[in-house]
Structure 1
Amino acid sequence: MINKKKSMPIFAGMAYALLFGLTFMFISIALRYTSPFLLLSIRFSIAFIVMSILVIFKILKVNFKNKNLLPLILVGFMQPILYFALETYALKSIPSSIAGTISSLIPISVALSSAYFLKEKPTKAQYGFILTSIVGVIIIVIFGATDSGSGSLVGILLLIGAILSQTAFTILSRKFSVRYTPTETTYFMMGIGGFVFTIIAFIECLIKGDLTAFITPFLHKEFIFTIIFLSIFASIMGFFLINYTLSKMEAARVAVFENLCTIVSIIAGVVFLGENFRVYHVIGAILIILGVWGTNRFTASNHKIIEEKAIDNTIREKNRD
């Protein structure tokens, strides 16, 4: 039972890393048929509608009664609104593999932020393995820039902004995990994302005088396939998994799974988009995997307190039934 409690968040972290790693490729494909904000509008609106149907039929359970929604609005602003607006525009000017590697700087940002804001200090061993993972990322980025160019400077700056918003989201979601269940947080994120991005996309279409832009992408089978993945798998399942993981373990441990996204994005870019694959990708991937393993293996003994909080959250969620 104890092993299951410890392993489930790890498996969830690996699963969301797989889904988010593939996201870079699917966004790149979807942008062939629509604009960034239209894509975000369609993606999160579909995700919210699907979750709403599941809530109506009581397959999913949420309860916002007598709850302060301001923290969730803050979480939703950081992710998905700010993060995806920045990331999607960045992907218009840099390769998906490079985007994946730069995004892997998130763990070190979260580790430093969580130590200050959440008082969740990683152990010395964890810092070492986080840095090991970062070295793997740096190897891929440096050699990748030399090999094929680093892409647009504007694109890279936009992605750095996305990293900062993702860091803020990770800290906030972890902090407020005692107030809301992972399902509630995910549902609210899909709702606010769909609402805000649809307003922006609608204004964009009005200015261009083309409201049919909401429909024309669906004339392409490739777009339909990508939007199904982005809406249901990446948005609903992916964000539920990350919110669940953040409710069970420290932010720094959760964030290091972001580096697995690097490996997934590289493999996906090579296999499906014909992007280059080199020896340095293998070396970097080995260091990243080693870093993820070590960060989750060498945890501090005082993390029992965190596990007890996670158990309390689980009991509270069950009592809603």
Structure 2
Amino acid sequence: MNPLPSDAHAPRRAELQIAYALLFIAPAMWSVNYLVARWAPGVIAPHALALGRWCVAALLLGAFCHRELVAKRALIGREWKQFIVLGALGMWVCGAIVYVGARTTTAVNIGLLYAAAPVLIAVVSALWLRERLGTVQVLGVALALGGVLHILVQGQWHALSEVRVNGGDLWIAAAVLSWTAYSLLLRAWSSAFGPAARLTLIACGGVAVLIPFTLWEAIAWLPSTLSWQSVSLVLAAAVIPGAGAYAAYSFMQRTLGAARVGVVLYLGPLYSALVGWAVLGERIEAFHAVGALLILPGIWLSTRR
């Protein structure tokens, strides 16, 4: 019998290489949402933005995987409850609720709260999903978290004592817990669908949850007006931090596991600083460089086998 060819494991190696590259690309895609959230007040309401974002994202994703959706349409009924739950967690709470919270809290507070998500994901993954988290990975998580905190307090550690909890903080805290649950359930629940098809169906579940809240918002709280600005924000949020980033996250989770992929959130403060510098004219300070020197090795250590 002939031995297996030397490239027998090439597809798996290629998937790993793509997944590790996406660890650094996906946060850049998510950082577009920082701009959208900043420009949205006065242009489009939070639920309307989230609903438009995921309607467009579902259509885009469905265009790429419609054959699989048609071929496996009989299986949708088996998993529809999962799609509703994941859609509520990932598209409603981590979408519209984040936009609501961002209206009444500061960027520092949001960052500090979201910095807890990778730690929660890693710890619960080790306890519940039995994903191994060794000493090296724990050291990587600690380094990355230290880098995030250094950036968030702008190198002034006494600023930690100045953080105050307000209504917006509570909304963001709910989003952090929701993202943790979304990440873990996405990994724990098996599916008959590939990453793109599954994300399409989850987005449809999120749309179903968002519709009644969007109607209530438009009638009772904050109506939106149709304009080129609002349409542009919806399209930007749908294409880049919507379909693109979430599809990348699903692929990385399937390939690397929930605990390792959770650390991509640590790159958020770095990428937001770059976006702020390139688009909004904000300055990059020395504390950003120090934070990067902690975060990047932390990402490498925490994702090592």
Report the TM-score when normalising by structure 1.
Answer: 0.80
Residue 308 of structure 1 is matched in structure 2 by: none
Aligned partner of residue 243 in structure 1, secondary structure: helix
1:38 corresponds, among 40, 44, 48, to: 48
* Deviations 1:213-237, CA, capped at 9 Å, x for gaps: 3xx34233xx433322211221111
Taking every aligned residue pair, what percent have the same amino acid on both sides?
19
List aligned pairs for 1:235-254, cutoff 5 A.
235-254=242-261
2:100 corresponds, among 82, 85, 89, to: 89
Residue 218 of structure 1 is matched in structure 2 by: 227
Contact 1:44 1:235 in 2 (8 A): yes
| Counterpart AA for 1:295 | S
Structure 2 CA distance for partners of 1:128 and 1:31, relative to 1, 3 Å: same
Q: Distance in 2 between matches of 1:114 and 1:261?
A: 21
Structure 1 range deviating more: 21-30 or 266-275: 266-275
List aligned pairs for 1:140-159, cutoff 5 A.
140-143=151-154, 146=159, 153-159=166-172
Structure 2 CA distance for partners of 1:62 and 1:231, relative to 1, 3 Å: farther
Residue 114 of structure 2 is matched in structure 1 by: 103
Residue 4 of structure 1 is matched in structure 2 by: 14
1:50 corresponds, among 34, 50, 60, to: 60
1:29 counterpart = 2:39: yes
Unaligned ranges ≥5, structure 1: 300-321
Aligned partner of residue 257 in structure 1, secondary structure: helix
Contact 2:92 2:206 in 1 (8 A): yes
Residue 171 of structure 1 is matched in structure 2 by: 184
Contact 1:178 1:247 in 2 (8 A): no
Deviation at 1:260? 1.4
Contact 2:31 2:241 in 1 (8 A): no
List aligned pairs for 1:155-234, cutoff 5 A.
155-207=168-220, 213=224, 216-220=225-229, 223-234=230-241
1:265 counterpart = 2:275: no
* Deviations 1:56-111, CA, capped at 9 Å, x for gaps: 5x497773423332223222221112222331112113344653454232111101
Structure 2 CA distance for partners of 1:208 and 1:170, relative to 1, 3 Å: closer
* Deviations 1:167-198, CA, capped at 9 Å, x for gaps: 11111111124543211321022212223223
Structure 2 CA distance for partners of 1:218 and 1:204, relative to 1, 3 Å: same
Q: Distance in 1 between matches of 2:106 and 2:276?
A: 8
1:117 counterpart = 2:128: yes
Contact 1:100 1:265 in 2 (8 A): no
Q: Distance in 1 between matches of 2:170 and 2:220?
A: 27
Contact 1:82 1:165 in 2 (8 A): yes
Structure 2 CA distance for partners of 1:43 and 1:7, relative to 1, 3 Å: same
Residue 137 of structure 2 is matched in structure 1 by: 126
Q: CA RMSD in A?
A: 2.7
Contact 1:51 1:187 in 2 (8 A): yes
Aligned length: 290
* Deviations 1:229-273, CA, capped at 9 Å, x for gaps: 211221111111111111111211000111112211122123323
Residue 316 of structure 1 is matched in structure 2 by: none
Contact 2:98 2:172 in 1 (8 A): yes
Report the TM-score when normalising by structure 2.
Answer: 0.84
Structure 2 CA distance for partners of 1:291 and 1:217, relative to 1, 3 Å: farther
Structure 2 CA distance for partners of 1:189 and 1:31, relative to 1, 3 Å: farther
Q: Distance in 1 between matches of 2:13 and 2:65?
A: 31
| Counterpart AA for 2:267 | L
Structure 2 CA distance for partners of 1:263 and 1:6, relative to 1, 3 Å: same
Structure 1 range deviating more: 262-271 or 272-281: 272-281
Structure 2 CA distance for partners of 1:152 and 1:61, relative to 1, 3 Å: farther
Q: Distance in 1 between matches of 2:62 and 2:41?
A: 26
| Counterpart AA for 2:100 | Y
